[in-house]
Amino acid sequence: MNAPLLAPRNARILDRTADFPILSRQVHGRRLVYLDNGATTQKPAAVIDAERAYYELSNANIHRGVHWLSQHATDLYEQGRERVRSLLNAARLDEIVFTRGTTEAINLVAFSWGRSVLKEGDEILLTGMEHHSNIVPWQLLAQQTGAVIKVVPVTDSGELDLNAYRALLNARTKLVGVTHVSNALGTINPIVQMVNLAHEVGALVLVDGAQAVAHQIVDVQKLGCDFYAFSGHKLYGPTGIGALYARHDILKDMPPWQGGGDMIHTVSFDGSTFADAPQRFEAGTPNIAGVVGLDAAIKYVQDIGLTAIAAYEQNLLDSATAQLTLLPGIQMVGTAPNKAGILSFLVDGIHPHDLGTILDMEGVAVRAGHHCAMPLMTRFGIPGTARASLALYNTEEDIAALIVGLKKAQKMFGTGHTHD
């Protein structure tokens, strides 16, 4: 079974808001209350400083130059790869491929591994709570290969129906794609159990970890998954950088999916030979500064401790959930007992977009819409939700501001509820 993901309830206060320069600014004359961390996190000064220092002191192209600066930049880049390996506890450094983020990582697997392995009639098993990034690439691949997509249903509480999952697995299942933490519901899925069941029928498992790595310890060896993808910008790092973990015995046999410089051994007009993984999958000049920033971001959370972060955020989630459910006219969407810091909800008589606009005028930033999970919204029969998503720098004061904003919105729309 999974290692415990919910941390102890005696979490100390992290008090890290001062580390994030943007949190000192005002919006519409109000203190910024940033509760849109599921979309992207803010960046600590340590990450901003690391990127600036790279460009001021270390900028050069990597892997090619004999001069000192190129070798120094290469060392920084590969140091970042080791940092990602340590974050995920991958067994080998060459199991880490840098990508632009989770989306590109999933596309890499689909169009390298998938296009070379899948054939007509093979099945790809996805879940009803997947982000579009873990749906659309497989649809494109299925159209090209004749593979078939099957979907694991979601219960009313926002959990996966594991009995249905077991029933859907069969000898034709070649890949299971599953989110570690739902971006729209906060549900933490039982990855170890799902991986074990998939491996029993010979299927590989790709885990979308975009919403997990900033909030809990992730150990790919304990999870047992074959692929794990995440984005740096949801981990307090820069945009445009992320990583794919892939088991070495799988990755070493996957063909290139993009061609160009730095992914080859030799090139002639008669043909080319390719570098070993992971360089085979990193064509062209990569986002070197992004890797440096990601390195700094991972160090930042590791120095605080992901166990402490998980505990703090769990306390905040419990408090915020209790306060929201006390408000009349609030419908929570996603009530699984095992959840990360996502509060997805509806307010009677107020469209989520209107609600988001009103909250914005109070300085409170939330997300409103389908959260790139349209099939999930269809399953619940709603166009979208308002979503407040938590990070290590959020506080009880932020939750109080959200509650005040919700009460003002209800008063403006005259929904008939009264508040003290």
Query: Annotated catalytic sites, by residue?
Result: 372
- Smallest CA-to-CA distance from 207 within 339, 194, 197 is with 194
Residue type present at position 158: G
Hunting for tokens 């590989």 — which residue is that?
204
Hunting for tokens 């166009």 — which residue is that?
383
Distance CA 183, CA 367 (A): 11
**Rounded (10°) angle between helices 45-53 and 288-304:** 150
The answer, yes or no, to whether the previous bond of 278 is cis (omega within 30 of 0) is yes
- Smallest CA-to-CA distance from 181 within 11, 315, 336, 42 is with 336
Q: What is the 3-state secondary structure (H, E, C) of 308-375?
A: HHHHHHHHHHHHHHHHHHHCCCEEECCCCCCECCEEEEEECCECHHHHHHHHHHCCEECEEECCCCHH
Is residue 176 within 8 A of residue 192, CB to CB? The reply is no
**From the CB of residue 419, how many other CB atoms can be counted at a distance below 10 Å?**
12
Distance CA 141, CA 123 (A): 11
Hunting for tokens 């880049």 — which residue is that?
77
Contacts of 417 (CB under 8 A, 6+ apart): 327, 328, 329, 348, 410
Distance CA 399, CA 387 (A): 13
227 DSSP assignment: E
Contacts of 325 (CB under 8 A, 6+ apart): 332
| Token pair of 378 as six digits | 């269809």
Residue type present at position 194: M
| Token pair of 128 as six digits | 């009803």
